[in-house]
Structure 1
Amino acid sequence: MPALVDAMPEVPPYDTDLIATHTTAASTSVAHWVALHHGIPVERCHLIRRGLNDNYDLRARGGARYVVRVYSIRPRGGFNIDFEAALLEHLHDRGAGVAPLVKCHNGQTHAVLRFPEGTRALTLFQYVDGAVPDTLEEFELTGCTLAHIHAAARDYAGPPSRYILDGHHLVGRTLQYLEAYPDLDPAVLDAYRALAGRLLEELTALEPGLSRVVCHGDTHGFNNHIHTGPDGSKAAAFFDFDDAGPGFLAYDLSVLPWSYMVRKTIREPDDTLRERWTHYLRGYRCAGGEISEDDIKALPMFVQLRHLWNMGEAVGRLHHWGTSMAPADWLKKQIDGFEAWKGLDLTA
């Protein structure tokens, strides 16, 4: 009897009908591209996570450490690299705590890569030592550093951001993605349309009194590290500015409490979050950051807007992540949470 393997037909190397939606590059490929485009001899490289982008930890020979970002193709449009690179250079030159971008050896900010799903980009950043804030002192230091970043960005005059963190960016895109969601209950979609209308009306009413800054856009407490210098003093540094753009101070502040409430599946701050939030705002104010009464008043609204934006990031990637990242029953349950957040108290 012939061996089973001998009876199997030949299989082509790939199906010619295959259409890729997202390709995860092997770390060996990323190491090769960094050596090729940045001229850095690589000792090792590994994938940190797949998410909005694919991020890799890379160590060069000699010990220098970097983070490589391979941008994913986003439904919102092209990459925001020109703005992010120029903003980081501007902030770094002014001593703000950020992770600088490392340019290619030809002076370009990024390398252009051809993937099966389309053109993607690769950027290299200096690695930020340390860990996410944990103690009250570290949350205060984080707020202080964010104030320095906002202040340093005031005279930024480089390439504009592709994103303006306004109502359309935070709400309008999410509605577009929800309308394309398969088999979503029409009543649920109508509820989100009503929610979006309410929030946009509220934003329009509050907008004249709100402070404006160049937002980091994703200040959820895990895009910044606290590290200790040679003299024993602590410092904070922010990274992942690819969602940055001009917007509202209250939005940039609201992302932190939103993050901790969502991660703990609660709709009200617990005592731990309230203490952290109080020290976060204290640090921001102590560094000269001005937060108006209107900004504080708008925080509950921006917590809701942030949640809608984050939902949009998931439902806009069904081709990549699938519906399990934001199931239809989960989308339905969120509506009650928005109602609970209307009365959120984030004064400190």
Structure 2
Amino acid sequence: MEIFPVQYSTLSALALGERVATVYNLPVTQCRYLLRGVSDTYVVTTTTGQYILKVYRDAHRSVAEINGELALLDALVSGGAQVVRPIANPAGERLLPLQAPEGLRYAVLFSFAAGRTLAGFSEAQLGIIGREMAFNHNITAVVQLPWPRKAYTHQTTVERPLSLLQPAFDEYPEGYALLQQTAARVAGKLAAYDTAKFNVGYCHYDYFPKNFFFDGEDKMTLFDFDFAGRGFLAYDLASIFIHFYFDTRYKQKPREQAKAEMDTIVAGYRQLRAISGEELEAIPLLAYQLLLFYLGFQYENFDDWSNFFFSTRFLKARLEEMEDIASEYCNL
């Protein structure tokens, strides 16, 4: 019987656990499916500890791009950064090929980050977030990767998302017109800065608290480099800015408190790395563009993830948030 074409399969956790045990010579006791995202994530438990197994999709990450992610992590680990590290099998290989129904997929085994995501941070932890980010940027600003990663430019953060999103606004054309207008105003204000002097390098581009853990001794570990690419390093501070913005909007955090916490992170950052006043002023503008990028990404991958929430109602709510950032923080 003919096998019908497959777009996105879910690989068996049990079979993956058996494959990891064989290929990596590990005493695996359990493999559990954790989440579906840009890659599929599994937690692998052994008698000696835990690991994370990420199964990539060619539709999102080519072999070259996966190697680019691993090369970036290698540079960070070699430089002493507190990040997860890719694990090689006894043969020294880190890419695990898997023949899935839709074609060849690759998996990578990573060290397990100790600790947990925190709902709020102490002043000491805020300083650590800033210093760890700056420490990483001191490495990623100068590293030259032999493999490609996404570049975050005006084309990829504004033009392409706007093009992708146009059909999503078929029932809300006035919303699309507003999105176009505000995106152009944000881009224009950003272009008024001397962005040629902005710090550039490989940013994480998803630097939200869900992607770093603190353990009981306040050691921070950063993970999930799926979106890491070359662009303004201040995009990582823009991710933190968005986190605090949502805290003020939905968790009743006073705006003054959010600003003070953001300032503490920036102060920690400046202990290890310089950042200009213009770059700090541009953070809300970069935050707007980051939200625009992810909105386009969510729509582009609707078929894969069945994003039932992606509706006209969702678009109106997200547009309201972005307009609020533009008016209240970008002064547009």
Verify same fold: TM over 0.5: yes
Partner of 1:118: 103
Partner of 1:136: 123
Unaligned runs of 5+ in 2: none
Query: Aligned partners of 2:4, 2:249: CA distance in 1, in Å?
Result: 39
SS class of match (2:186): helix
Runs of 4+ in structure 1 off by over 6 angstroms are 76-79
Query: Aligned partners of 1:243, 1:184: CA distance in 2, in Å?
Result: 30
Does the CA-based 8 Å contact 1:212-1:246 persist in structure 2?
Answer: yes
Query: Aligned partners of 2:165, 2:25: CA distance in 1, in Å?
Result: 44
Q: Measure how far apart 1:24 and its partner are.
A: 1.8
Partner of 1:148: 135
Q: Measure how far apart 1:145 and its partner are.
A: 0.8
Partner of 2:290: 306
Question: 2:227 matched to 1:221?
Answer: no
Percent of aligned positions that are identical: 24
Question: Structure 1 pair 18/260, CA: closer, same or farther in 2 (3 Å)?
Answer: farther
Q: Measure how far apart 1:344 and its partner are.
A: 4.0
Residue 202 of structure 2 aligns to which amino acid in structure 1?
Answer: V
Question: Structure 1 pair 213/105, CA: closer, same or farther in 2 (3 Å)?
Answer: same
Question: Structure 1 pair 202/106, CA: closer, same or farther in 2 (3 Å)?
Answer: farther
Query: Aligned partners of 1:25, 1:150: CA distance in 2, in Å?
Result: 35
The structure 2 residue matched to 1:246, chosen from 224, 227, 230, is 230
Q: Aligned runs of 1:320-335 on 2, under 5 Å? A: 320-335=304-319
Question: Structure 1 pair 200/78, CA: closer, same or farther in 2 (3 Å)?
Answer: farther
Larger CA Rg, structure 1 vs 2? 1
Q: For 1:272-300, what per-residue CA distance to the aligned partner results, in whole angstroms no more than 9, with x for missing partners? A: 433431221122112x1212111111011
Q: For 1:125-167, what per-residue CA distance to the aligned partner results, in whole angstroms no more than 9, with x for missing partners? A: 1001012243221121121111111112233223243201212
Query: Aligned partners of 1:186, 1:300: CA distance in 2, in Å?
Result: 25
Give the RMSD, CA atoms, in angstroms: 2.7
Further displaced range: 268-277 or 201-210 = 268-277
Query: Aligned partners of 1:221, 1:269: CA distance in 2, in Å?
Result: 19
Question: 2:329 matched to 1:341?
Answer: no
Partner of 2:65: 80
SS class of match (1:44): strand
Query: Aligned partners of 1:113, 1:242: CA distance in 2, in Å?
Result: 19
Partner of 2:7: 21
Query: Aligned partners of 2:131, 2:248: CA distance in 1, in Å?
Result: 25
Tell me how many residue pairs correspond in the alignment. Answer: 326
Partner of 2:181: 194
Q: Give the structure-1-normalised TM-score.
A: 0.84
Does the CA-based 8 Å contact 1:104-1:111 persist in structure 2?
Answer: no
Q: Measure how far apart 1:239 and its partner are.
A: 0.8
Further displaced range: 36-45 or 72-81 = 72-81
SS class of match (1:99): coil
Q: Measure how far apart 1:98 and its partner are.
A: 0.9
Partner of 1:290: 274
Does the CA-based 8 Å contact 2:50-2:112 persist in structure 1?
Answer: yes
Query: Aligned partners of 2:62, 2:192: CA distance in 1, in Å?
Result: 29
Partner of 1:208: 196
